[in-house]
Structure 1
Amino acid sequence: MDTAFKDNLDQYINKLQRIAIRLNGVRGAHPLRIGREGAAIAMRSARLFLSYCALVSLVRRNIELISEPFCVALVIIPVGWQLTDVKEAAKIILKDEKVRFYIHPETKSRRGWDIDPAEELIFGKLIIFATEGSPVHEDFELAATMRDRLRTCDVRHLRALAKLRGCGDISDNQAALIAEQPSERMEAIFRIGQPACRAALRLTELGPLRPVAEEVKHLDLSKGFGEAGDWAQELKKDLQDWRDGKLPWSDVDKGCLLYGPPGTGKTRFAAALAAECGMHLEATSISRWQSSKDGHLGDMLKAMYKAFAAARENTPCLLFLDEFDSIGDRSKFVSSYADYSIQIVNGLLECLDGIEGREGVVVVGACNHPERIDPALVRSGRLEKHIHFPLPDAQGRAQILGFHLPSLAEHPSLKEIAAKLPGKSGADLERLSRDARRVARRERRSVTIDDVRGKVEPLPILSEGYQLRVSIHEAGHALIAHALLVGHVERVEIFDNSENFATDIDAHGLTVMRYPSVPFQTRWEMLNRITFHLAGAAAEEVVYSDRSTAASGAGQSDFAIATEIAVEMVTRWGFGKSPYYLPGSINTSNPGELWRDHRLRAEVGEILQTEYARARDMLSGLKQTLVAFATELARHKRLQGDQLEKLWPVPSAPGDTEARNANRH
């Protein structure tokens, strides 16, 4: 910039206002009047405006080098400044030039760079933006014809921005303090029409507002993880023995499949497992492989091989593969893309136990639907250990909340809150903790138990009418289970959400069963199980001539379980109208495919309708007992042991006759 421009602030502001017009994309034959419209146009973004000003200065300092037809410019951006803003500003300045802009990654993995500089260096003009202090690929350093540091937040730029936005004057000290702030804070400091000096004063009073890195917290794998925690401790010991030369790698578990509903903490467990065992963590997913380059077969296989190669280079290593069920099953691929998918599965099999081996690499896969995975991938020697990750119970929920809220971990009310959150996943509880911390942070104080309570949505309290209806529903389940000898009814409960709360599952009522352990099931026993699951809705129809949504609407609802049993009867056990069984002929993990199979749908529908009618007919004959049972349940909220024995129908009841007939089949 020339001397006169430096010495004259008003002239400098005029210059920036002309820049602002370009920033806003205004096009026209006549320039806008500065006083009336210039400020509004300039204030599209405070941090973009400052990036633009700093980049203009950098370009002027290096104009001769940047003007060369072949130029590789390495621009170093101060920490705390967004590289994307600088890149956008560069596009505005050099919009008429054929220039390639590239944001350099801030870190590299232990195995090296994941980028290929040759893909960028083919361009004649290349501008690379890198964060100060972060490593830069050696090839970019070698090819650079220009290297300069971006001087953001020049005092003159800040004062000009303040005047353009109507933020008043700022002193040298205030400007220096503002210049130390990260770019994200500029919008708050230079709010249109608000004094920037006030924001600077608050910065002085509050001290540094940069987030302070919290002490790294580690999950205690010995608590709340059940079978997974036990396996983690065994693996840790085996790995240590392998390191010490006391145990051959052939005796160490090669892999594990973690499966369960979303949000239960499978990914977090894998990361904690790697830390606990002192292993390098290499985390990826099937979709990340798929999105590599153009997603062609060669690209995906290359990404897959690269992940396993990286794991072998960093042994001992835990290779975590998320979304493992999306790899599929070779027997269920549709013809349109079967070749592609089969080669992906074959490639993964080769990686898991190929000729190169994988000593020192433990593979952990995570998924929601294990039944969709090719059986060859989860047999012994591959992902041989299978661990179910269910939704956490009351104790597990308390431990998760305590992990995310360590200052409240020993607070007695935290367990009470956790007990009233059935059905919540680990991710749900993490979000609840985050919301509670946000409330405390905004008020600049420590988080309290009331902050947690305030973020828990209150459960609807059930009126006496609703309680009786739920009692009718659960009584239907219990009576049919007892009559058909489905299993032993241990207890029956309802929850009013006032004095009684569900702690195991998110439900208004519960019938807890203990099923007998049998070597196999008969057709009639499977039908009895279906009748039992449909009995709750049937009981409502018997008493109210209508049924509610209590029996459906979720993956583990009464109707869902009954349907799954009926589908298995037809497709797996040959209990349909024809005793055929052809492995792989039906993809039971694809609900859409099942729905389109008209023959299967008809057979399953007939089974469900027949068993629903049977449950309704049995309960119609037991209506007096049904109502008496429900009345007692509504009064006591929980029935078990001797309380139940007094409520079962006498031997002459129609249900007993039905049970005797059932057991003769």
Structure 2
Amino acid sequence: MRPILAGSILLWSILGISNSSGGFREVTFQDFKSSLLEKGLVKELNVMNKSYVQVVLQPESRSYLAENPNTIFYFSIGSVDHFESQMESCQDKLGIPDNERIPISYHTTGNVASALVQFVPTLLLIGFFVYMGRRASGSGGLGQSGGIFGIGKSKAKLFDKETDVNVKFKDVAGADEAKEEIVEFVKFLKDPERFERLGATIPRGAILSGPPGTGKTLLAKATAGEAGVPFLSVSGSEFIEMFVGVGSSRVRDLFATAKKNAPCIIFIDEIDAIGKARGKGGQMGGGNDERESTLNQLLVEMDGFNSHDHVVVLAGTNRPDVLDPALLRPGRFDRHVVIDKPDLDGRAEIFKVHLKPLKVDSTLDIPSLAKKLASYTPGFAGADIHNVCNEAALLAARNGKDQVSEIDFEASIERVIAGIEKKSRVLSPEEKKTVAYHEAGHAIAGWYLEYADPLLKVSVIPRSNSSLGYAQYLPKDQYLYSKLQLLDKMCVALGGRVSETLFFESITTGAQDDLKKVTQMAYSQVAVFGMNNELGPMSYQQNDNEPQFQKPYSEKTGSLIDDEARKMVSEALDRTTKLLTSKKNEIEKVAQLLLTKEVLTRQDMENLLGKRPFPMDPTPLEKSINDIKSQE
């Protein structure tokens, strides 16, 4: 109904007529010609806006037509020239003299609707800017006023020292050395006069670097919580926008706000988004220039003519090697704190923190459970451990339990390492047999090699990470590996492929991931660790974070690296083949038991094969169990 009414108003405006009591009647040109023009009822014609023709009738014609006196007749035309030609032709045929022909007048009328149509683009543009301005002012950040002109305001979130920052150093476990380094900043911020009276200056900041999930952000918040000062948190990517100059403006606004709240802490997460080394990457103009201008402003703010006192900048990154040297120099980031993955004791402490909120089985001792779980999770970071505890609670709830038991934790560790069991993936008997002998080859090779990691569990149950079986080992927390250890690891990885060649006529694709690991270990020994006699103590390790347009060695050296790596893999394959050929009966026993039980533990292996024939230090699991027994 509304479109019809709007159309009527628009037509009324176009015709330029005030017609309060009558109506509009549209006729065709043929009806106009036969019913009005040929009968001499037309007085004059008004062409309106070159689109419509209003017909003005003779006064006496109303009674003849029996129409409402206020009825307006009109018809549309395609073009004025064509209409004039038609009228001239019709009046010639009717024999109307030139001095008596119907007058035609032309009118152009303005109307509200057409004026509004002209202003629609402008109104839409104004509305867009108003909408964007409201979003910019209401999107958080420090500058809540200013509308669209607040786009240069920093988006850092201010945490109040009394209500928002409740994290303390006791909540950060497994990073004792990093806490010792960072605690000095707490002393600076709590009592700066103690150091300044001796002429010392407050350090500008610290880079917190390390693998993902090790607790860099948590340690920064704990520093703010211990110091009792405001904490400004911002991501490095929030300085980068499509508008030129926004990054520099936000850096200035961030430090201006920090100065008002001094003493305070600024934490820039993922600083590599703006702190990459300048002049690298081969980019020209655009975003690269904007990023560099943002970095330049950050350098000036941290140590320039207008540097701020009592403002400590902490920054977190997983890639400290790509940062600009000017950012890392003393006077800007004075401390470089490396937060590495925790060792066995560190993992136990982290487990204690994350076990507190869980409703753990009351019969379990939390410290003992934490030590045991820590021995199961070598190489896990703090975020991984939190994920294990959370998955255990979810698994217990899914099974309708009231408490989280030790079995739930072990199942969650398996899920994090190898994925969930794929019960829907049913292997054929031939495939299951192949997987059993493949995994038995890995297990036997590791069992009879002195420097292989101790076996914890071997399974032939398919997992969600596309593996059809897996073997879980318990490596020690060590940072240096000997050549003998690396060679034994290569043999263990080749055990599955060798076992297939011994028991089946044809090998399968199941060893693809094993061969990838073996190849990587061989090339690392030859070209990175300098463990090859032919190449000598040379290391050709390349930086994966930067594009390499040519290799750092000649074609002859590259060919020699390939030959030596291939030779090393071949020797490991021959060694593994000799070992497993002599232990063929043991492989048969393990594979048959795997087909029956699907999962074998270390105890099952000892019952089947006896103890490993090497004098060994206790494994992390055995060490934790012995510690528990000694405490009891």
- Given the two structures, how large is their TM-score scaled by the length of structure 1? 0.49
Deviation of 1:569 after TM superposition, in Å, equals 7.5
- Is this contact kept in 2: 1:282–1:320, CA < 8 A? yes
CA contact (8 A) 2:445 2:495 kept: yes
Counterpart residue type for residue 314 of structure 1: N
Distance 2:188 2:480 in 1: 36
Change (3 A) 1:277 1:408: farther
1:508 is paired with a residue whose SS is strand
What is the match of residue 492 of structure 1?
453
Q: Which residue identity is paired with 1:494?
A: L
| Structure 2 residue identity aligned to 1:365 | A
Cα 1:533–1:514 change in 2 (3 A) is same
- 1 CA distance for matches of 2:180 and 2:299? 27
Q: Which residue of 2 aligns with 1:116?
A: 146
2:205 match: 255
- Distance in 1 (alpha carbons) for counterparts of 2:548 and 2:446: 30
Q: How many Å separate the matches in 1 of 2:303 and 2:265?
A: 15
Are positions 1:508 and 2:538 aligned together?
A: no
Summarize the Cα distance change of 1:377–1:442 in structure 2 as closer, same or farther, 3 Å threshold: same
CA–CA distance in structure 2, aligned partners of residues 432 and 516 of structure 1: 27
Say whether residues 1:275 and 2:225 are aligned partners.
yes
AA matched with 1:117: G
SS in 1 for 2:228: coil
Q: CA deviation at 1:290?
A: 0.8
8 Å CA contact 1:495, 1:508 repeated in 2:
yes
Distance 1:356 1:493 in 2: 59
Superposed CA offset, 1:611-662 (max 9, x none): 2422432562575457779969954798596359xxxxxxxxxxxxxxxxxx
Quote the residue 1:388 is aligned against: 339
**Is residue 393–residue 404 contact of structure 2 (8 Å, CA) maintained in 1?**
no
- The residue aligned with 1:469 is 441
Residue 535 of structure 1 contacts residue 612 of structure 1 at CA under 8 Å; is this kept in 2? no
- Determine the structure 2 residue equivalent to 1:319: 266
1:87-102 equivalences under 5 Å are 100=130, 102=134
Gaps of 5+ in 2: 5-122, 151-162, 422-431, 460-469, 502-506, 588-601, 618-632
Q: For the structure 1 residues 427 and 456, does the alpha-carbon distance in structure 2 shift closer, same or farther, using more than 3 Å as the test?
A: same
Are 1:280 and 1:317, in contact at CA under 8 Å, matched by a contact in 2?
yes
1:316/1:410 Cα in 2 relative to 1: closer, same or farther (>3 Å)?
farther
**Percentage of matched positions with identical amino acids:** 19
Is 2:588 aligned against 1:616?
no
Q: How does 1:421-570 map to 2 (within 5 A)?
A: 421=377, 424-430=380-386, 448-450=403-405, 453=408, 456=412, 458=414, 465=437, 468-471=440-443, 474=446, 489=451, 492-496=453-457, 508-509=472-473, 512=476, 534-538=490-494, 541=497, 544-545=500-501, 548-549=511-512, 551=514, 559-560=519-520
Return the offset for 1:398.
0.8
Q: Deviations over 1:311-353 (max 9, x none)?
A: 3332222221111233322363214356555444433332332
Q: 1:271 touches 1:281 (CA, 8 Å); kept in 2?
A: yes
Q: Distance in 1 between matches of 2:389 and 2:322?
A: 34
Q: What whole-Å deviation, never above 9, does each CA across 1:74-121 have from its counterpart, x for those lacking one?
A: xxxxxxxxxxxxxxxxxxxx99x9694536978977xx634423649x
In 1: Cα distance, 2:258 partner to 2:136 partner: 24
Deviations 1:485-534 (A, max 9, x none): xxxx5x73112169xxxxxxx972356596779xxxxxxx9x99986764
In structure 2, the CA distance between the partners of 1:247 and 1:115, relative to structure 1 (3 Å rule), is same
CA apart distance, 1:289:
0.6
For 1:611 and 1:447, the matched residues in 2 are separated by 55
- Pick the aligned partner of 1:242 from 192, 204, 214: 192
Tell me: CA distance 1:224–1:288, structure 2 relative to 1, closer, same or farther (3 Å).
same
Contact 2:437/2:500 (<8 A) preserved: no
Q: Quick one: which amino acid aligns to residue 263 of structure 2?
A: P
1:307 matched to 2:254? The reply is yes
Contact 1:566–1:604, Cα closer than 8 Å, also in 2: no
Change (3 A) 1:354 1:362: same
Determine helix, strand or coil for the equivalent of 1:614: helix
Shift in Å at residue 434 of structure 1? 5.7
Unpaired segments ≥5 residues, structure 1:
1-17, 19-26, 30-93, 121-212, 480-488, 499-505, 518-524, 645-665
Q: CA deviation at 1:267?
A: 1.5
Q: 1:371 to 1:475 in 2, by over 3 A?
A: farther
Q: Residue in 2 aligned with 1:642? A: 615
Deviations for 1:409-431, whole angstroms, at most 9, x for unmatched residues? Answer: 99536525565455554334545
Residue matched to 1:398: 351
Amino acid corresponding to residue 352 of structure 2 in structure 1: Q
Cα distance in 2 for partners of 1:638, 1:366 equals 47
Q: 1:286 to 1:587 in 2, by over 3 A?
A: farther
**1:362 aligned onto 2:312:** yes
Contact persistence 1:471–1:494 (CA under 8 A): yes
CA distance in structure 2 between the partners assigned to 1:247 and 1:561 by the alignment:
56
Distance (Å, rounded) in 1 between the aligned partners of 2:579 and 2:472: 22
Is the 1:530–1:611 contact (alpha carbons within 8 Å) kept by the matching residues of 2?
no
> Is the contact between residue 258 and residue 389 of structure 1 (CA under 8 Å) also seen in structure 2?
no
Residue of structure 2 equivalent to 1:230: 180
Deviations 1:272-329 (A, max 9, x none): 22112223211112211113xx243x11122223223333332222221111233322
Assess if the C-alpha contact under 8 Å between 1:432 and 1:452 holds in 2. Answer: no
Please give the secondary structure, in 2, of the residue aligned with 1:371: helix
Matched, 1:336 2:284: yes
Distance 1:597 1:603 in 2: 10
**1:390 shift after superposition:** 1.8
Structure 1 residue identity aligned to 2:337? H
Q: Indicate the residue corresponding to 1:353 in structure 2.
A: 303
RMSD (Å), alpha carbons: 5.6
Quote the Cα distance in structure 2 between the aligned partners of 1:366 and 1:563: 32
8 Å contact 2:490–2:572 — kept in the other structure? no
Q: 1:628 to 1:452 in 2, by over 3 A?
A: closer
User: By how many angstroms is 1:231 displaced?
Assistant: 1.9
Q: In 1, Cα distance between the equivalents of 2:235 and 2:309?
A: 21
Q: Pick from 544, 549, 561: which aligns with 1:589?
A: 544
Q: Output the amino acid matched with 1:469.
A: G
Please, what TM-score do these two structures have when normalized by structure 2? 0.51
Indicate if the aligned counterparts of 1:440 and 1:451 stay in contact, CA closer than 8 A.
Answer: no
Trace 1:564-583 onto structure 2 (pairs within 5 A).
none
- Is the 8 Å Cα contact of residues 542 and 620 (structure 1) preserved in structure 2? no
Query: Which residue identity lines up with residue 545 of structure 2 in the other structure?
Result: N
Contact in 1 for aligned 2:522/2:568 (Cα 8 Å)? no
Q: Residue type matched to 1:372 in 2? A: V
Seen in structure 2, the aligned counterparts of structure 1 residues 470 and 531 have a Cα distance that, compared at 3 Å, is closer
Number of residue pairs the alignment of both structures matches = 422
Distance 1:350 1:431, change over 3 A: same
Q: Which residue of 1 aligns with 2:365?
A: 412
CA distance in 2, matches of 1:214, 1:441: 31
Structure 2 distance, partners of 1:429, 1:643, is: 28
Cα 1:509/1:283, change in 2 over 3 Å: same
| TM-fit CA distance, 1:538 | 4.8
Q: Which has the larger radius of gyration?
A: 2
Alpha carbons 2:361, 2:403 under 8 Å: kept: yes
Residue type at the aligned position of 1:290? I
Q: What SS does the aligned partner of 2:453 have?
A: strand
Tell me the CA shift for residue 227 of structure 1. 1.8
Alpha-carbon distance change, 107 to 119 in structure 1, aligned in 2, over 3 angstroms: closer
